[in-house]
Structure 1
């Protein structure tokens, strides 16, 4: 499907800076990445609750949830994974422009895909949060039973089993979810946001 050439960007009179000022905090993408079962979704849910409770404006995008709607036509081939992250990046960029903290919990296994999202926004508007947990730990958790299915060959192209996961090389925050509790993980992220003048 060819891209349309007859389109022109239409500027708004209300700017991102106006929206941030109204909300009383900066906006940014908080990009959670890590293996399935690492704790991305659990920590992002808890973080959103903590930020909301403190009066900050947020929206959370989760991998499974997005595949029910926006990306329900995509599979798990490398090409579809890349397109999945591209779309999420574009949605996240819009939400940053709206003045929100956008929390995204996606395996997002490829460094290049995550870097493409980073390039969509200003330098300080992409905060990569690597939720680190070994494959062994993630398999022990296996809350969805996916690793078992992948080991049995019932799921093909599963990250960590027969598809790669490329660890971040310059994540702003690294959370060891085997060592830190959910509460400690949330506290570490909020401390980062305070120390770097986001809130």
Structure 2
């Protein structure tokens, strides 16, 4: 049994579903929605340390995709804790539940034909694999926003790292709780040393090359051109 198979098995063992509850298949299939939208639906999962640029990059990529006629939505780590996950803290178990809820929500969006961009630290590799296991192969694209810890601390506009180092915040990723970087992400973006537009162009180019979205024409090239004119160290703070 592979590690991924083990994660899938353990995930479903943990779930208890009332036998009276039956899944009702939609009259409109996901494939029909994709044909109408003229693009595939999938989950684009941005992971990285706090301050690595996940939210900033996810929102810029969404903007580019939307301008190219794609149906998109961003699920942001801070935003979901205002509602869907407002009852959760940051212990390992609560982080896992946070990611489970987001994964299930993202799957629903994907079934509706939407490209779902998620921006979450999601520090534990097993939790990310759990979400990958929810969907078919190729529907979960892991994007590692690779920014060194010292750069993230320098970008820390909220002062969270300073508070964590003083012991004021428990279970803070990178300081008092580990971040397990992806060993084989689908795409690694050097958000610590490249500008926003260049990083965004890397992502949309990756998607277009793999047939996930329509060819961008000059849009992706224009994004790279803009990025080249900007500082490669443009701040991506979240």
Residue from 58, 79, 85 that aligns with 2:99: 85
Q: Structure 1 residue 144: deviation in Å?
A: 1.7
Question: What 5-or-longer segments of structure 1 have no aligned partner?
Answer: none
Q: Structure 1 residue 152: deviation in Å?
A: 1.1
Aligned length, in residue pairs: 199
Q: Distance in 1 between matches of 2:171 and 2:126?
A: 18
Asked if residue 152 in structure 1 is aligned to residue 166 in structure 2, the reply is: yes
Q: Structure 1 residue 4: deviation in Å?
A: 2.5
Q: Distance in 1 between matches of 2:142 and 2:97?
A: 19
Question: Which SS does the other structure have where 1:149 is aligned?
Answer: helix
Aligned to 1:125: 139
Aligned to 2:156: 142
Once superposed, what is the RMSD of the aligned Cα atoms? 1.1
Q: Provide runs of 4+ in structure 1 moved above 4 Å.
A: none
Q: Distance in 1 between matches of 2:56 and 2:180?
A: 21
Aligned to 2:70: 56
Q: Distance in 1 between matches of 2:184 and 2:111?
A: 24
TM-score, with structure 1 as normaliser: 0.98
Question: What 5-or-longer segments of structure 2 have no aligned partner?
Answer: 1-15, 214-238
Question: Which SS does the other structure have where 2:81 is aligned?
Answer: helix
Aligned to 1:70: 84
Q: Structure 1 residue 5: deviation in Å?
A: 2.6
Question: Which SS does the other structure have where 1:68 is aligned?
Answer: coil
